[in-house]
Amino acid sequence: MPRNKAAVSIRDVAAAAGVSVATVSRVLSPASADIVVREETRDRVVRAINELGYRPNDLARALLQQRTSTIGLVLPDISNPYYPPLVRGVEDAASQLGYRVVLCNTDRDPAKTAAYLDTLVKARVDGVIVAGGNLSELPGHPRVFETYRTKLVMVGRHGLAHPSVRVDNTAATEDATAHLIGLGHRGIAFLGGPEGSSTAQDRLLGHRRAMAAAALPTAERVAGFDEHGGYDAARSLLTGTPPTALLCANDRMAFGAYAALADAGLAVPADVSVVGFDDVPMASYVRPTLTTVAVPTYELGRAAMRLLQDALDGSAATEPVLLPTRLVHRASCARLA
Amino acid sequence: MPRNKAAVSIRDVAAAAGVSVATVSRVLSPASADIVVREETRDRVVRAINELGYRPNDLARALLQQRTSTIGLVLPDISNPYYPPLVRGVEDAASQLGYRVVLCNTDRDPAKTAAYLDTLVKARVDGVIVAGGNLSELPGHPRVFETYRTKLVMVGRHGLAHPSVRVDNTAATEDATAHLIGLGHRGIAFLGGPEGSSTAQDRLLGHRRAMAAAALPTAERVAGFDEHGGYDAARSLLTGTPPTALLCANDRMAFGAYAALADAGLAVPADVSVVGFDDVPMASYVRPTLTTVAVPTYELGRAAMRLLQDALDGSAATEPVLLPTRLVHRASCARLA
DNA sequence: TTGTAAGCGTTATCAC
DNA sequence: GTGATAACGCTTACAA
């Protein structure tokens, strides 16, 4: 196989500077900061690098050092507005720490997930952050990850053997429901997310707990985690005696519920109070503004990346990290007349 | 340097199967599909692979073949709701074609952009998709990209020397403005995006053209591409004689304008008509539903990845690809009384 | 049909 | 201070 003369390599730099490749490497490598290269030699090398537009090949370096400075980020779907801030958090922390991020959208499809995990292992990523917690259904992979020393961090779900970051969805939803009960509401319906989502399940559980504690019967709907799901679920609740309050498993569903209520001629909060979850930017811009549980999504991402970094540094496995939520009171809730 | 015995390599497989590494490679490599390996040998190899949980090291393969099957996706900010569908489109097409996607958020910051492009070149990505078009400010990089044969595709901006995909923002905005004029509006204000955004500039231009063609004076505001920007810009227009129609540079700004109008006691569309841009999901769920220009963002992403693939296959440079937009008529516009 | 060995572009270990 | 060179884990002539 003939040498590819096009891509400039460390040899070309060495030749241009009249030194050996070892010297070029020493000039570039942070590891050899203590190793002395004569000032004049260093200058020649630096000049050659600039003249040739040389960029070291991280593949070769990674092959040798057994680390790629690359991580995988696995999530259901970046189009779900919940994820972009999280991705941003991961990516910001990653680039700050010198890692690249490979993005993988699984749609919670086991086949896709398996394919992505495979490709990440083949790329020898140093670690993987899994958000949306659909890893447990893949019995084969823990072993492969272990074989290739791939560190794992879970976000949003209690990772059994792995570090994890999440918010306490159950407690937060319990609080939100309690708040509605405190306002005098008794007919409180819960618009829940899909059964496959652990977040949705955790939030449902919190709601049930609060309702049970107040000895109130619960009305629940299962729907998609978006405006459409919220719209349909809300509509289906408006026949007969409508609830006086709606607790939604996320803000998008709440926006859908707003639309359904408006279409039914019901006013928020005069007729029906509404609470959302996540506090996406739009929550402050709908009218009336939406009372919702603020989730520090960006921070979740940052924290996940930091945990991964810790794991890669060889720190002992950390306790699950729990980030705080906050109920943001806005205009969509009223005391029951 | 001692051999790392932990990560299983092709040698371990070869040893376990009692064959040479070349044979293992032949079993795995699609390139050697025509090369015959005896059935019995192949079975032994496959069994060893499964037993050991072996995954080939793509770094080594990439180093040899001078291609990484990885691309970079550079954009301003994934948190901007315009981008997730685009990213999704790129990623779906990429994974289908066997590429990994490394995500880079630049915030339009030249320093960050330069750092990301550098890291992508060092990772020897096969190509880069730049969305949001902030590459021209980096005079150094075209050369480096050429040196390392990194293909480039631009989305949203006419790439001078590179393949590109975009929509005709100017024509679309011209149409949208013409539609409002056709409804009898004369006082039409334009809520524009930031000056640094070429998309914002193109949309502004279209608006000006339509207004000029009708010999109408234009009121323009420059603001952030989000709800907050739309809110402030709309507010600032409501002193004195308010316009009878608002054309917004994107949907998020339109949602902000909705809020400002509601707060000012103005009804949409009875008092003020509103038009958005992008057709994000929420546009169908605000009340009244938002008339807006639908942009095929997901398709833009897919098309970009396909163009990149073509470039990598060595096809001749393609013409700029223009995807169609469509004005979606909903409830936010009314004929002027 | 299978094995041997060179080479991809680095870094690190030794000499000098 | 600097230079040879082995090694990282693969693929692919070329030999056997």
Tens digit of each residue's pLDDT (9 = 90 or more) over A207-228: 999 999 999 999 999 999 899 9
> Could you give the residue ranges of the DSSP H alpha helices within chain A?
10-17, 21-28, 39-52, 58-65, 83-97, 110-122, 141-147, 169-182, 198-213, 227-237, 251-263, 297-312
- Residue B301 near residue B88 (C-beta atoms within 8 A): yes
Which regions in chain B score pLDDT beneath 70?
Answer: 1-6, 32-33, 133-137, 159
The pLDDT assigned to A134 comes to 64
The pLDDT assigned to B135 comes to 66
Cβ neighbours of residue A314 closer than 8 Å, sequence gap 6 or more: none
Tokens of B227: 């709800």
The pLDDT assigned to A1 comes to 33
With a 7 Å cutoff on the CB, does B123 touch strand C? no
What CATH superfamily is the domain B69-167+297-323? Answer: Response regulator (3.40.50.2300)
Tokens of B111: 């320093």
CATH topology of domain B5-56: 434 Repressor (Amino-terminal Domain) (1.10.260)
**How many Cα atoms are found within 13 Å in the side-chain-facing hemisphere of B68?**
30
Starting at the edge strand that comes first in sequence, how are the strands of the sheet with A188-192 ordered? A219-222, A188-192, A245-248, A273-278, A291-294, A326-328
If you measure CA to CA, which chain A residue comes closest to B78? A84
Nearest residue for D8, CA–C1': A64
User: Could you tell me the residue ranges of all domains in chain A?
Assistant: 5-56, 69-167+297-323, 169-295
The pLDDT assigned to B196 comes to 79
Question: Which nucleotide is the nearest neighbour of B44, by CA and C1'?
Answer: C2
If you measure CA to CA, which chain B residue comes closest to A144? B53
The pLDDT assigned to B108 comes to 87
The pLDDT assigned to A135 comes to 66
Measured in angstroms, the CA of A122 and the nearest CA of chain B are apart by: 5
The closest CB to that of B53, out of A63, A116, A144, belongs to A144
Greatest mean pLDDT among A77-86, A108-117, A128-137, B294-303 lies in: B294-303
Contact A102 B102 (CB under 8 A): yes
Residue A310, burial from CB neighbour count under 10 angstroms (0-12, 13-18, 19+): middle
Test the A interface: residue of B3, B65, B70, B79 with most A CBs within 10 Å: B79
Architecture of domain B169-295: 3-Layer(aba) Sandwich (3.40)
Q: Which residue has the higher pLDDT, A136 or B228?
A: B228
The pLDDT assigned to A318 comes to 84
Quick check: do A69-167+297-323 and A169-295 share a fold?
yes
With a 7 Å cutoff on the CB, does B30 touch strand D? no
Contact B85 A79 (CB under 8 A): yes
Contact A287 B258 (CB under 8 A): yes
Residues of B in contact with A63 (CB under 8 A): 57, 59-60, 63
